[in-house]
Amino acid sequence: MRKISFVIPCYNSEKTIEDVVKEIEVTIEKRGKDDYEIVLVNDCSKDNVWEKIKSISKQNAKVTGVCFAKNFGQHAALMAGYRKATGDIVVSLDDDGQTPADEVYSLIDKMEEGYDVVYASYPHKKHSFARNLGTKMNNFMCEVLLGKPKKLMITSFFVAKKYIVDEIVKYENSYTYVPGLVLRTTKSIGSVPVCHREREVGNSGYSFAKLVALWINGFTAFSVAPLRISMVMGMSSAAIGFIYLIYVIVNKFFNPSVPLGWSSTTAILLLLGGMILFVLGMIGEYLGRVYISLNSAPQYVVREETDDKEK
């Protein structure tokens, strides 16, 4: 019998997580062929979701809970859940009910066409403008810097074969970005359009600033392309400056009365100075991450887990 593992990061979802679990149970029962488990990871939520998780795990032996000691973020929570998952197929989805758990078999059936990973794509997302803009930035970053196929939409709802997840969890650095780990592991990735639901309770835990931070984390953790782009920018700037210098000398030679331009000189200095600071900042970001990684900063710290004896 095939086993499906559901991994769900939980943050401020005390009022929704129970409905998500019930929807998974009903969906599996309707298909009637598969065994399953659900791993709920509390990312140091501000509400009482951990108490809710413990209550659910006592009622259903297939539910396991993990509680973080502090907030480490959605991707760290996914990594913790992946390390607990034992299924042949691992499903990642959200805790707020917006990702339709009842359509999980649409993704799994698509996987049977030969894909290692299948993402849910949303023709119409029910997020705020800022959240949608951040998501578009994230997808653009993955396309340009991480080699994501242009037509593929990266979302939080996806299914992956166990060997892909086994490879993903080998990553132990503190800067975790799951799409980057997926894209560097396999090119056999598909997608299925599904309906994205309206949020019934609360607000998204991702602000635009957090999405930008996630975007920066993704390209600095899994690509050196920004450094190469910075090098090209520096070389281009130097070439433009050299050409302009030749122009100034030749122009002065043929037109001695032409005054030297302080404004143009200042503008060039500001442009070059800004580019130098930008490149130095980019290098500093990489060096800072190397330093933190060398100091063995943890991906996450587990404070508590639901015990099988309690169920």
Whether 219 contacts 225, CB under 8 Å = yes
8-state DSSP, 15: T
DSSP track, 139-164:
HHHHHHHS---TTPPP-S-EEEEHHH
What pLDDT band is residue 1 in, cutting at 50, 70 and 90? confident
Q: Encoding tokens for residue 92?
A: 């990642």
Whether 98 contacts 126, CB under 8 Å = yes
Single pTM value for the model: 0.76
What pLDDT band is residue 310 in, cutting at 50, 70 and 90? very low
As to burial, measured by CB atoms within 10 angstroms (0-12 exposed, 13-18 middle, 19+ buried), residue 2 is exposed
The pLDDT of residue 234 is 73
8-state DSSP, 197: P
- Dist CA 244 CA 287 (whole Å): 34
Whether 189 contacts 119, CB under 8 Å = yes
Which comes out higher in pLDDT, residue 241 or 127? 241
Helices and strands counted in the chain (H then E): 10, 8
Q: Encoding tokens for residue 112?
A: 């049977």
Nearest to 94 by CA among 166, 8, 34: 8
- Asked whether the predicted pLDDT for residue 27 surpasses 70, the reply is yes
CA distances from 69 to 8, 55, 156 (A): 17, 19, 23
Q: What is the dihedral of CA 226, 230, 235, 241, to 10 degrees?
A: 150
- Asked whether the predicted pLDDT for residue 272 surpasses 90, the reply is no
Whether 111 contacts 190, CB under 8 Å = yes
Whether 190 contacts 119, CB under 8 Å = yes
Which comes out higher in pLDDT, residue 141 or 172? 172
Residue for token digits 């979802």?
Answer: 13
